[in-house]
């Protein structure tokens, strides 16, 4: 290559590099909201902050014909309704589970079409796959979903735009149970939730092990009765996102969760096991 041509190619490469970097940053930049401290301060609504005397209970990754129905039964016994963020490819495989979830009064929301990580920009694909998931939920339940939580909580600019185009409101979480690990137990799930939960918070749990350690959902199932009992003892109501409100948790909100802000522990009855 002649020297002048080589220099021209180098100049073009130098100009393209920053452009690509800027494009990549614009794509993944919003995903910084995965960090709790970022979304708490910059977007409490995205974090799931609601009425200070309410806890929004949510589950991801279903539907699962083995485990989801077990959660529905336990929630029935507790008198609690929740929001289930479902994957579209599982909705079309297990429509009866989704239909039963809605029949029992729970809210069905969208977790995407599949559980993938969107590191490369694909705005057209994001729009198509999210719209497809919305249509799957609507076809099965007869109700258009309102909420969207991206897999892994990775909310790229493309997924922001796709959610907006589909008429969905993105919402992440304020507390989770780390219930996807092989070492999760009912005790660990409860302790992890309690560490970050305040009144007005949104709790992320999982009703399936589809994208997690086999059988880990049993730890979550075993933790639910004590979690719900503790919230109620603290004067909080529990329900789906549709009942959560959109108000931020104000500094003047009553501190009903104890000195550290965590839900107070309720001692186990003698001989009672927490394992599901």
Write out the catalytic residue numbers. Answer: 60, 206
Integer Cα distance of 186 and 188 in angstroms: 6
Integer Cα distance of 80 and 82 in angstroms: 7
* Pairing status of strand 147-148 against strand 237-239: unpaired
Integer Cα distance of 136 and 91 in angstroms: 7
CB 166 within 8 A of CB 134: yes
SS3 letters across the chain: CCHHHHHHHHHHHHHHHHHHHHHHHHHHHHHHHHCHHHHHHHCHHHHCCCCCCEEEEEEEEECCCCCHHHHHHHHHHHCCCCEEEECHHHHCCCHHHHHHHHHCCCEEEECCCCCCCCCCCCHHHHHHHHHHHHHHHHHHHCCCCCEECCHHHCCCHHHHHHHHHCCCEECCCCEECCCCCCCCCHHHHHHHHHHHCCCCCEEEEECCCCCCCCCCHHHHHHHHHHHHHHHHHCCCEEECHHHCCCCCCCCCCCCCCCCCCCCCCCCCCCCCCCCC
Distance of CA 174 to the CA centre of its chain: 10
């Amino acid at each position: 290559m002649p020297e002048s041509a080589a220099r021209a190619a180098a100049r073009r490469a130098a100009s393209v590099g920053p452009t690509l970097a800027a494009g990549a940053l614009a794509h993944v930049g919003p995903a910084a909201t995965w960090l709790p401290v970022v979304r708490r301060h910059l977007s409490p609504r995205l974090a799931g902050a609601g009425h200070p005397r309410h806890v929004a209970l949510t589950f991801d990754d279903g539907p699962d014909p083995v485990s989801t129905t077990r959660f529905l039964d336990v929630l029935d016994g507790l008198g609690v309704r929740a929001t289930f963020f479902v994957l579209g490819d599982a909705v079309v495989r297990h429509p009866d589970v989704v239909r039963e979830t809605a029949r029992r009064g729970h809210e069905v929301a969208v977790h995407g079409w599949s559980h993938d990580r969107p590191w490369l920009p694909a705005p057209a694909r994001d729009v198509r796959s999210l719209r497809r998931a919305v249509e799957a939920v609507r076809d099965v339940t007869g109700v258009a979903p309102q909420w969207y939580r991206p897999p892994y909580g990775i909310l790229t600019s493309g997924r922001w735009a796709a959610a907006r185009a589909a008429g969905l409101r993105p919402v992440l979480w304020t507390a989770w149970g780390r219930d996807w690990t092989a070492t999760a137990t009912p005790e660990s799930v409860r302790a992890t939730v309690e560490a970050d939960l305040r009144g007005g918070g949104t709790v992320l749990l999982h009703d399936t092990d589809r994208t997690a350690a086999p059988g880990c959902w049993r730890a979550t199932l075993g933790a639910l009765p004590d979690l719900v009992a503790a919230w109620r003892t603290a004067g909080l109501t529990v329900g789906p996102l549709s009942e959560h409100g959109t108000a931020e948790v104000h500094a003047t909100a009553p501190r009903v969760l104890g000195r550290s802000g965590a839900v107070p522990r309720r001692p186990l009855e003698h001989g009672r096991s927490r394992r599901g």
